[in-house]
């Protein structure tokens, strides 16, 4: 056990899985000698060589298409898309091919691959380096979607994702990469996909938040606690399949729910979470479900802190929901 940030934790997970399973292959733009733009894959090329850590052309469709072929022939590729904003040239390969393999083959073939990519704002990346596209992939049957909020979860969830028999999108909140340190086991371990975690106990309002926004929700919860409002916070960790039972239990306890996410509000994943809560726990609700999200605009550069649902934007919604 030692203190690690998310970059180190993910790097260790990749190293452990590559060392114990020679089918695991890392690939992407600059992941080899450079170690990735955020240095997440640093040192892997030196340890495992050109056959296992592959620098690719700047061709996202080609990266994912090649990874699908590798998976179909028995490997377990872990392709990296340098920023989630660049994933769209590979969208057809992901949703039309990787996601459909098991269905089209009647369960005979899977497509065991993990697409790693940094998501979200908070680093002044502007419109092309700050997006949060999770809902586009959650909407596609056959894909699993993971977004850890801390180093411990990142290491355990990535190991589980690599060992999974189906394609997983592993969204890494770049704002958290080096901003959070915590004790993480040095040895390999797993955290099951599809299990949420209650990270803060509370009585009056449930907040569901993931990735970097978890910390904004915690900051907002601490602020409203000064006014007597007790907030329970649930981190889904795996966005799909969603652990709706843990969220529903929390809502049945508090009677209220607020969802916080960076992505735009319209058709964001928060809408699906709130609808599922209404279906399961409607009679327990004591206030209208609420969302605090990004805006329905391109991600801005100079107005980044106005766009992001930071704590100062979450606080009024928590107070209004608690006092409804």
Whether residue 65 lies inside any domain: the answer is yes
pLDDT at 8 over 90: yes
Q: Are residues 201 and 179 in the same domain?
A: no
Q: Can you tell me the distance from the alpha carbon of 311 to that of 214, in angstroms, rounded to the nearest whole number?
A: 10
Mean of the per-residue pLDDT values for the chain?
A: 97
Q: Which tens digits make up the pLDDT trace of 133-153?
A: 999 999 999 999 999 999 999
pLDDT at 276 over 90: yes
Q: Which tens digits make up the pLDDT trace of 156-169?
A: 999 999 999 999 99
- Averaged pLDDT, 86-114: 95
- Given this model, what pLDDT does residue 1 score? 87
- From the CA atom positions of the chain, what is the Rg in Å? 19
Asked if 282 and 260 touch (Cβ cutoff 8 Å), the reply is no
Q: Are residues 239 and 171 in the same domain?
A: no
Q: Are residues 93 and 145 in the same domain?
A: yes
Active site residue ranges:
129
Q: Are residues 202 and 279 in the same domain?
A: yes
DSSP-derived secondary structure for 238-283 = EEETT-HHHHHHHHHHHS-EEEEEEEESTT-HHHHHHHHHHHHHGG
CATH of the domain at 101: 3.40.50.970
Q: Can you tell me the distance from the alpha carbon of 276 to that of 30, in angstroms, rounded to the nearest whole number?
A: 40
199 secondary structure, DSSP code: E
Whether residue 189 lies inside any domain: the answer is no
- Averaged pLDDT, 291-317: 96
pTM: 0.96
DSSP-derived secondary structure for 280-314 = HHGGG-SS--EEEEE-SSPPPSTTHHHHS--HHHH
Last residue of a domain, one of 142, 163, 184: 184
Q: Are residues 127 and 242 in the same domain?
A: no
pLDDT band at 20 (very low <50, low <70, confident <90, very high): very high
Within 10 Å of residue 30's Cβ, how many Cβ atoms?
15
User: How many domains is the chain built from?
Assistant: 2
Share of the chain above pLDDT 70, in %: 100
Domain that holds residue 100: 2-184
């Amino acid at each position: 056990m030692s203190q690690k940030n998310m970059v180190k934790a993910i790097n260790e997970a990749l190293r452990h899985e590559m060392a114990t399973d020679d089918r695991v292959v890392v690939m992407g733009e600059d992941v080899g000698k450079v170690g990735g733009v955020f240095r997440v894959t640093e040192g892997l090329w030196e340890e495992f060589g050109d056959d296992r850590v592959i620098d690719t052309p700047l061709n996202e469709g080609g990266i994912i298409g090649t990874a699908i072929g590798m998976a179909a022939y028995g490997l377990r590729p872990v392709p990296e898309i340098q920023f989630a904003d660049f994933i769209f040239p590979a969208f057809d390969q992901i949703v039309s091919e990787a996601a459909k393999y098991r269905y089209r083959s009647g369960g005979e073939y899977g497509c065991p691959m993990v697409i790693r990519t940094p998501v979200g704002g908070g680093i002044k990346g502007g419109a092309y380096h700050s997006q949060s596209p999770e809902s586009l992939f959650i909407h596609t049957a056959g894909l699993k979607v993971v977004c850890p909020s801390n180093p411990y979860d990142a290491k355990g969830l990535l190991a589980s994702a690599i060992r999974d028999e189906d394609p997983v999108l592993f969204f890494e909140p770049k704002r958290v990469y080096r901003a959070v340190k915590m004790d993480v086991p040095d040895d390999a371990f797993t955290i099951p996909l599809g299990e949420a975690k209650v990270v803060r106990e509370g009585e009056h309002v449930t907040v569901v938040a993931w990735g970097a926004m978890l910390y904004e929700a915690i900051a907002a919860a601490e602020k409203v606690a000064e006014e007597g409002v007790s907030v329970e916070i649930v981190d889904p960790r795996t966005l799909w399949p969603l652990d709706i039972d843990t969220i529903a239990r929390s809502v049945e306890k508090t009677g209220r729910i607020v969802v916080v996410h960076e992505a735009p509000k319209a058709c964001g994943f928060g809408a699906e979470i709130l609808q599922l809560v209404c279906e399961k726990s409607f009679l327990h609700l004591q206030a209208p479900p609420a969302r605090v999200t990004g805006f329905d605009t391109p991600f801005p550069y100079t107005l980044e802190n106005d766009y992001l649902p930071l704590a100062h934007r979450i606080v009024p919604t928590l107070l209004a929901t608690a006092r409804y």
